[in-house]
Amino acid sequence: MANHESTKKDIRRNARRRERNRQAIMTMRTLAKKVEEAVSAGKSAEAQEALMRVVPFIDHAVNRGILHRNTASRKISRLTLKVNGVPATKG
């Protein structure tokens, strides 16, 4: 256990940051899952809309230091390829 006040404060701060980062990652995964579900259902319009919601969120996670930029780029690229592979629905 920490003895210094500054170390105790660091522990509290790290716990808050960890929780905030976990929440952001979980939200990102949920948004990505919505893209995957729309793609598997063959709904190109929904998939495109879901992709437009998840990409800025991933970019924001990079700016906050939650994700590495290469990881974010890979995730965005894979999701985009899946969405582009869905044939456009008519009607």
Q: What is the CATH number for 62? A: 1.20.58.110
- Give the mean pLDDT of the chain: 93
Count of domains observed in the chain: 1
The answer to the question of residue 90 being in a domain is: no
Which pLDDT band holds residue 91 (cuts at 50, 70, 90)?
Answer: very low
Q: Which domain holds residue 27?
A: 5-84
Res 88: pLDDT? 74
Res 89: pLDDT? 64
Q: How far is CA 68 from the centre of its chain?
A: 12
Res 34: pLDDT? 97
Tell me the mean pLDDT in the region 22-28: 96
Res 50: pLDDT? 96
Q: Please, what sign has the CA dihedral across residues 37, 42, 43, 47?
A: positive
The model scores a pTM over 0.85: no
